[in-house]
Chain A
Amino acid sequence: MIATYIPGASWLHRCPAGLKLIALLVVSIVVFPLTNLWMLTIGLIGVAACYAPFGRDAFVQFKRLKPIALMLAFLFGFHIYLGTWTEGLAVLIRIVTLVLMANLVSLTTRLDDMIAAVEPLFRPLKLFGVPPQRPALAIALVLRFVPVLMSIHEGLAESYQARSGRRRSWRLIAPLALQALAISDHVAESLAARGGSSGLADTRMRR
């Protein structure tokens, strides 16, 4: 979800995030009991066709299936061993269809739209005194600081290598955790300096 969004103006980009998420949910539910290979294949072709607006980049997107290829091969083999190859193929098509469709949603939905779409689900938190925008902020912070922590780890690893000659070590976990805690202090301060996590519109004392 971090780097996958591709700016564009296709019909999928214009489609509201909530609708896309609901469509994904509905298709997931519909596809699971389906065993008819023809219908499954039509579904797969339909989803693949939705990649058309990306032109050549679509094939780059299909490569995203690579990391799960091993798992798919294992599942296919498992079904051939215990059942029939048609069952195996059905499972394969089902998973590929859903992964491609989910990827399509991340490709065409901005992160903040996605967060806004799921925010209503957090509304019950209000009963416990937690503003519903809090989880959205948390998601944004995670996405923001994963690359930051990765580059800090990179820096620690370099510094470790420069004096030990070895590349990676479990010893880096402790300093990385300490740095993460130090950063969290800084970020909390920065958030407070701009009005805190509840915003300035409903001004409440921060301390």
Chain B
Amino acid sequence: MALWTKGRAAARECGLDPFRSTYAVLEGASLELNGQPVLKDITVSLKERRIGLVGLNGSGKSSFVRLLNALRLPTSGVVRIFGQPTPDCAADLPKHVGFVFQNPDHQAIFPTVEEEIAFGLTQLGRDRKSAREEARAFLARHGCAGLVERPISTLSEGQKQLICILAVLVMEPQVLILDEPFTSLDGLTALRLSQKIAGLPQKIVMVSHDLTTLAAFDRILWLEEGQVRMDGVPGDVLPAYAADLERRAATESWTGSSL
């Protein structure tokens, strides 16, 4: 009981300000996983509405976005979200920073669509009945009334990913992080979902290999070997990134040494 009240008090006093426009600040943030450096001394502040992350596999993109909602804590340096260092506010962050994972089958926790959506609401303290009603209304608002009773396992990949995004949005976060959300989707579904995402009021941080979608973003961070290689508007960063891919495909072997 004592632990419970203590945790609650800590959350209330954490002083996170969800209306701050610079929502994330990394100050010399480094991360090691199993003794391997994954992110190295990153200093950057995020306030743009749509930020894209590009980089090769293993460049640290996924770890970077996981720092933003305290799924990972920096090994050294500080990550502030809405003005507060992540270790202090870890328990409160899911309310403010939503996270959509790459594979919907790894994200959806409940057997049916309605339960999946209602979960976020019960997490916020709604009782089961009103959570269910709100979930239904929410699904209807997003044109998914027909999916309410469906088992998640019977949905198409696109529907699954849409439900995963809605399950996060129902908690009304200020920031939405998407870690390669289109990987398993066909072109049409990916286009539809990216249009849906573009129309959201949330601030977006998206990891993607789809340079066409990212071209419409406000800012692109290019990560390489755990560091920010380039940071700027898409018109500058994306052509440089694409040219680098071409160059490396022509000159490097599979193991990364020059040919």
Contact = CB atoms under 8 A, between A and B. Distances in A.
Given A193-B71, A194-B120, A200-B91, A7 B109 contact: no
Interface of A: 2-3, 7, 111-112, 116, 137, 140-141, 143-144, 147-148, 151, 183, 186-187, 189-196, 199-207
A30 B173 CA distance: 53
Contacts of B112: 111
A189 B71 contact: yes
Given A205-B90, A206-B90, A206-B91, A143 B124 contact: no
A204 B123 contact: no
Interface of B: 3-4, 7-8, 10-11, 69, 71, 73, 90-92, 94-95, 98-99, 101, 103, 105-112, 115, 118-120, 122-125, 128, 132, 149, 151-153, 167-168, 171
18 contacts: A112-B115, A140-B110, A144-B109, A148-B105, A187-B107, A192-B71, A193-B168, A194-B123, A194-B168, A195-B123, A199-B125, A200-B91, A200-B123, A200-B124, A202-B8, A205-B91, A207-B73, A207-B90
B119 A194 contact: yes
A116 B167 CA distance: 21
Given A111-B111, A116-B128, A193-B94, 11 more contacts: A144-B111, A183-B106, A190-B101, A190-B109, A193-B99, A195-B123, A196-B91, A200-B125, A203-B11, A204-B7, A206-B91
A204 B115 contact: no
A2 B111 contact: yes
Q: Label chain A's interface by main secondary structure.
A: helix
Contacts of A204: 3-4, 7-8, 91
- Kindly name the residue among B3, B94, B171 whose own CB sees the greatest number of chain A CB atoms within 10 A: B94
Nearest to B171: A194
Contacts of B3: 204
A183 B101 CA distance: 12
Given A7-B149, A194-B120, A205-B7, A140 B92 contact: no
Contacts of B151: 2-3, 147
Given A190-B106, A194-B94, A205 B10 contact: yes
A189 B110 CA distance: 15
- In the A-B complex, the 3 residue pairs with the closest CB atoms: A201-B125, A186-B106, A147-B153
Contacts of A186: 101, 103, 106-107
Contacts of A144: 108-111, 152-153
A201 B10 CA distance: 13
Contacts of B98: 193
Nearest to B72: A189
A151 B160 CA distance: 15
A151 B95 CA distance: 32
A205 B81 CA distance: 16
A203 B8 contact: yes
Nearest to A140: B110
A189 B109 contact: no
Contact of A148 (B7, B120, B125, B153): B153
A207 B89 CA distance: 11
A184 to B, nearest CB: 10
A138 to B, nearest CB: 11
- Kindly name the residue among B118, B120, B123, B132 whose own CB sees the greatest number of chain A CB atoms within 10 A: B123
Contact of B92 (A189, A193, A200): A200
Contacts of A116: 128
A137 to B, nearest CB: 8
Contacts of B149: 7
A183 B119 CA distance: 20
